[in-house]
Amino acid sequence: MAERMIVIGGDAAGMAAASQARRRRDRDDLEIVAFERGRFTSYSACGIPYWISGLVEERDQLVAREPEVFRDEFDIDVRLRHEVTAIDLDRREVVVRDLTAGRELREGFDTLMYAVGASPRLPEWARDEVQGVFGVQTLDDGAALRAWLDADPAPRSAVVVGGGYIGVEMAEALIQRGLAVTLVEQAAQPMSTVDEDMAALVADAMRATGIEIRTGVEVTGLTERDGRVAAVVTADGPIPADVVVLGLGVRPNTGLAEAAGMPLGPSGALRVDRRMRVVGVPGVWAAGDCVESLHRVSGAAVHIPLGTHANKQGRVAGINIGGGYATFPGVIGTAVTKVCELEVARTGLREREAREAGFEFVSVLTESTSRAGYFPGARPMTVKLIAERPTGRLLGAQIVGRSEAAKRIDALAVALWNGMTVEDMTSLDLGYAPPYAPVWDPVLIAARKTVDALLR
């Protein structure tokens, strides 16, 4: 009889695992059933802000693979609108609620793939039944927000609560749709994924596009009119809002796993080994936004919910379930985003993280340009490097600039991944031609200045 694999969660991690397992084992050997509580599989949540803004025209452009493709080409039985409500490890069964038919099923498994992602953090005040408040995590969430924005009369004012990268991308999307947008952030700057000096550049650029930013302000409640949101309440007074978007970060969806007795790590996400097996739970695998990863620089277990990790981890799990051998080597915190015209990138540790990890370091900010200074379209670029003192090992890097800035982080990520020192980096053979870089690329200038700082 075929072994039975059940996948919970039909997006990046879950379907990557399912497809990889199927590539190695046919249906007679492995039956695969995937439960997804939403209406979509393998969609790009990362693309939601660009569909909300209108840059991406059709919702279905964000769907990489429809359930039919999984059924017909991969022989994977995808069941949409099916929510797993419990895992019974003793009986090797999951309890599933068919949300369309309104009935409950129990389904047995030999192998379980837990890939349920994360959920937006919900403050107390957002739990009331007031309409017009949206977290954005799944394509269903995006579709609900888009329907609210497309309604007649259309909302005119928006408040984004929280200035993480999702909040910042959503603020951009909403201003591009013509709404009056206020971003409310409790900290001193939005964009807390980079250091404050770099985040200040992001805040300036956002203000220049018309987004109002209120920092050091906490939202404590909502006011409503006929059950619909009318304003957010803050200590500074109410801010009108026909729509509220939550950008307060996410929490790993560990509830089902915890209830089944699976272990959580220090980050609060599920503990897995390097082959993506849930630690101490035979036959159960997990990947994506619900698990923690090893940070290769700090050595800490971290929860960094990104699509890039979810896809790689799901692939690793699937290869192993399929009988192959693969490991996930950890993360270094590389991330890029775009805020209006500004590109923002980071890799490795921020100053605070380097301090918390116990490193002695120097951190150096360098201003340069994206192209040769005389070449049309050359734009300013700020690069910040953090290097261990006295070894000079690169610990972290951040870039804020306009065109051609963000993806320069990849060179720095490769250097950091390979443990290079800033001294080594000064002679890296990076490409140069006036339309692409100054003769000393911003990355090389930053490395040189950091070497100087280490010698001081």
Ligand X SMILES: Cc1cc2nc3c(=O)[nH]c(=O)nc-3n(C[C@H](O)[C@H](O)[C@H](O)COP(=O)(O)OP(=O)(O)OC[C@H]3O[C@@H](n4cnc5c(N)ncnc54)[C@H](O)[C@@H]3O)c2cc1C
Q: Could you tell me which stretch among 42-50, 173-181, 341-349, 441-449 binds ligand X (CB under 6 A)?
A: 42-50
- The answer to whether 305 contacts ligand X (rule: CB under 6 A) is yes
Least distance (Å) between residue 164 CB and ligand X: 10
Candidate residues 19, 111, 138, 366; the one interacting with ligand X per rule CB under 6 A: 138
Residue closer to ligand X by CB (options 10, 190) is 10
Least distance (Å) between residue 250 CB and ligand X: 8
- The answer to whether 162 contacts ligand X (rule: CB under 6 A) is no
Q: Could you tell me which stretch among 5-13, 229-237, 339-347, 386-394 binds ligand X (CB under 6 A)?
A: 5-13
- The answer to whether 78 contacts ligand X (rule: CB under 6 A) is no
Residue closer to ligand X by CB (options 38, 318) is 38
Query: Rounded distance, CA 153 to CA 243, Å?
Result: 12
Q: Could you tell me which stretch among 7-15, 71-79, 154-162, 317-325 binds ligand X (CB under 6 A)?
A: 7-15
- The answer to whether 318 contacts ligand X (rule: CB under 6 A) is no
- The answer to whether 249 contacts ligand X (rule: CB under 6 A) is no
- The answer to whether 67 contacts ligand X (rule: CB under 6 A) is no
- The answer to whether 176 contacts ligand X (rule: CB under 6 A) is no
Task: Look at the block and give the residue holding tokens 């053979």.
Answer: 429
Task: Look at the block and give the residue holding tokens 């579709």.
Answer: 143
Candidate residues 31, 185, 195, 289; the one interacting with ligand X per rule CB under 6 A: 289
Residue closer to ligand X by CB (options 107, 424) is 107
**In the annotation, is 290 catalytic?**
no
Determine which one of 46, 99, 143, 233 is catalytic.
46
- The answer to whether 11 contacts ligand X (rule: CB under 6 A) is yes
Can you give the binding site for ligand X, defined by CB under 6 A?
8-14, 35-38, 45-46, 48-49, 83-84, 115-117, 136-138, 166, 253, 256, 288-289, 305-308, 310
